[in-house]
Chains A and B, each alone.
Chain A
Amino acid sequence: MTVNGATPLGATTPEEVAFAQEVRRGEPILEVRDLRKHFPLTRGVLFKKQVGAVKAVDGVSFDLMQGETLGIVGESGCGKSTLAKVLMNLEPASAGSVKYKGEEISRLSGSALKAVRRNIQMVFQDPYTSLNPRMTVGDIIGEPFEIHPEVAPKGDRRKAVQDLLDVVGLNPEYINRYPHQFSGGQRQRIGIARGLALKPEIIICDEPVSALDVSVQAQVINLLEQLQAEFELSYMFIAHDLSIVRHISDRVGVMYLGRMVEIGSDLEIYDHATHPYTQALLSAVPVPDPTARESRDRIVLVGDVPSPAKPPSGCRFRTRCWKAQEKCEREDPALTAREWLEGRARHDSACHFAAERENI
């Protein structure tokens, strides 16, 4: 039986308990419950008829703790960017709830929404398209102050913008320059400065380094970590680069086809993954070490991700899963810690047959 595939790690030691407690320290600053975002598929030009829906995010729940970094990984189409947009209130949620410090924010509008926006900000993926090319750097970073005048009085704004430039490691003298005069890494710093302007508590980073050169990525990651310590930020860090996510995250959530399939601390996910998809994803990552490639045991998945408009019944991963059985077709597995798992393997995983791989 597959259940026996679990590698027992021995009894939960006091050290393990301490570890688990440490991870879950702090209060949740953001509570997401059963969040859904469906994009209707319509037909007809004048009289639109709904013929289905793309279930981009389909029942996602998690907590973001104060001061932590939650990494979200998954392949394109898994809904991680849509999740970010919904949390930012850029797209209305179809169902579910998002609570910021206990207050429901997913259905806010007007000035209440504007107030929440001060606390949740975003860093975008593409530094080439996320800055308005017709505005100077000063105008771009100063815009948050114009929208929320209470944050910085009029006379202090220029100074505030220069301070922000300084904080992200750019020369404050370049306040009058235009974005196209900067390189990708520098533009991303401008984007980060804009995100910091309102002194938010949460920053959602949507693939913040994937458009950057390898040699510049590390600079931006370091900057993000320094800012987190300095301003006590909570990050939701969405990326597809698993090694960067591991480096920066306290906890990691793995998404597949609109669902969270596994979530846990970085150690739990990277070294004790129990969901087959997470295992396949981890094993597929190209390792920049040719000696490791011979020793590692790679799971090559068959086929492609199914369309989010027509997800499979039951477990969504079953069409590509080597463990799939009849039960997987019938029953949608809940995201929960399976009682047969022990130690660090015992974390939330949405698989009926959750188990660690025999040898990694």
Chain B
Amino acid sequence: MPDRNESIPDDHDPLRNIAPTDSDHLDYVGQQGLAVEQETLIEPDPGKREQARSLWGDAWRDLRRRPIFIISAVLIVLLILIAIFPSLFTSTDPRASDLTNNYLRRPDWSDFFGAGWFGYDGQGRSIYARVIYGARASITVGICVTLAVTLLGGLAGMSAGYFGGWMDAVISRITDIFFGIPLLLGALVLLNAFATRNVWSVVIALAFLGWTQLARVMRGSVITVKQSDYVVAGRALGAGTGRLMFRHILPNAIAPVIVVATIALGGYITAEATLSFLGIGLQDPTISWGVDISSAQKVIRQAPFVLFFPAAALSITVLAFIMMGDAVRDALDPKLR
């Protein structure tokens, strides 16, 4: 019923009492003589005291100590560098084809970072160069789709969760409908409708189908946060919708969205590769891991390495983002603090 049960001082959670870490001696004797207690002030670790710690700050300090986060962060930074400046990593033209000399030539491990390092594909092109140049398509699709769905889904979920009523009913029903459409099947149909298919058409198709997942997460999160006492306190002060949404609700509701988005990013990269593999996504002049995996299947018996390298690059990329999502979730999980 509307009344709340009296919450009581409990010590069922022995860790709760650690919360006021350096604040034991914060109580203070007010100059106006209104303070109630007088405290013998003992200064513990004076250096540490001045440090104000936000939850994000705590999460960051926590993340820095997680090997999984460090590994995935290094990988992601490297991948982004490769995507932006592929020419830094190889001087070979990924489109240069030499069928006479290089047709399915095996990897030459002595050709360290050279054109023949990973061998050559069925059209005599350097697989190493193609793996490097292929990163751009995958990373672009992954990041752009994630940004788009976070923005779209976040906004929709926030409106649904905050305003409720008919707005919630409409948005929730739409997400329910989308929930029934398999991402790949939907993208397949959508992409067929595009006249030209490039990275951006893939981004649009995936974002269009993917935003509802984020909207659901955001909606749930906003509904939980909206009921907290501090939001009620904001309303009691007379705070307007904008202030409540962006100052009180969003910062507290965003964490699960960030986690889901980071993990989903890997999924979008896979989706792009799958679509390209099926011949619906990117197509040959565009260099992408999916396209290369697709063309490698014709020669898989004679030259499995043609499939191996783009596939490995794809797996490592997806894994890096999923690991990052995991680490971020652990760091932000309020139950662990």
Q: Would you call A194 and B52 a contact (CB within 8 A)?
A: no
B243 at the interface (CB under 8 A from A): yes
8 Å CB interface, A198-225 against B: 198, 207, 210-214, 219, 222-223
Q: Interface size bucket, B side?
A: 35 or more
Which residues of A have CB within 8 Å of B181?
Answer: none
B45 at the interface (CB under 8 A from A): no
Q: Interface size bucket, A side?
A: 35 or more
Query: Contacts A56-B2, A134-B55; is A122 near B236 (CB within 8 Å)?
Result: yes
Contact of B7 among A54, A80, A125, A194 (CB under 8 A): A125
Which residues of A have CB within 8 Å of B1?
Answer: 54, 56, 76-77, 308
Which residues of A have CB within 8 Å of B31?
Answer: 166
CA distance A22 to B24 in the complex (A): 43
A313 at the interface (CB under 8 A from B): no
Contact of B9 among A39, A166, A211, A223 (CB under 8 A): A211
Q: Would you call A169 and B27 a contact (CB within 8 A)?
A: yes
Query: Contacts A117-B238, A169-B35, A180-B55; is A76 near B30 (CB within 8 Å)?
Result: no
Q: Would you call A121 and B236 a contact (CB within 8 A)?
A: yes
8 Å CB interface, B1-48 against A: 1-9, 19-24, 26-32, 34-37
A182 at the interface (CB under 8 A from B): yes
Q: Would you call B230 and A132 a contact (CB within 8 A)?
A: yes
CA distance A194 to B234 in the complex (A): 10
Q: Would you call B26 and A182 a contact (CB within 8 A)?
A: yes
Query: Contacts A117-B238, A147-B243; is A212 near B23 (CB within 8 Å)?
Result: no
Which residues of B have CB within 8 Å of A191?
Answer: 233
Q: How far is the CB of A4 from chain B (nearest CB, A)?
A: 37
A178 at the interface (CB under 8 A from B): yes
Interface residue SS majority, chain B: loop
Q: How far is the CB of B322 from chain A (nearest CB, A)?
A: 27
Query: Contacts A46-B169, A169-B34, A223-B34; is A210 near B8 (CB within 8 Å)?
Result: yes
Q: How many A-B residue pairs have CB under 8 A?
A: 173
Q: Would you call B32 and A166 a contact (CB within 8 A)?
A: yes
Which residues of A have CB within 8 Å of B36?
Answer: 169, 219, 222-223, 226
Q: Would you call A143 and B4 a contact (CB within 8 A)?
A: no
Contact of A118 among B5, B21, B238 (CB under 8 A): B238
Q: Would you call A148 and B238 a contact (CB within 8 A)?
A: yes
Q: Would you call B232 and A90 a contact (CB within 8 A)?
A: yes
CA distance A214 to B236 in the complex (A): 28
Closest to B24 in A: A183
Q: Would you call A78 and B7 a contact (CB within 8 A)?
A: no
Query: Contacts A76-B5, A77-B1, A227-B34; is A174 near B26 (CB within 8 Å)?
Result: yes
Q: Would you call B4 and A81 a contact (CB within 8 A)?
A: yes
Which residues of B have CB within 8 Å of A240?
Answer: 6
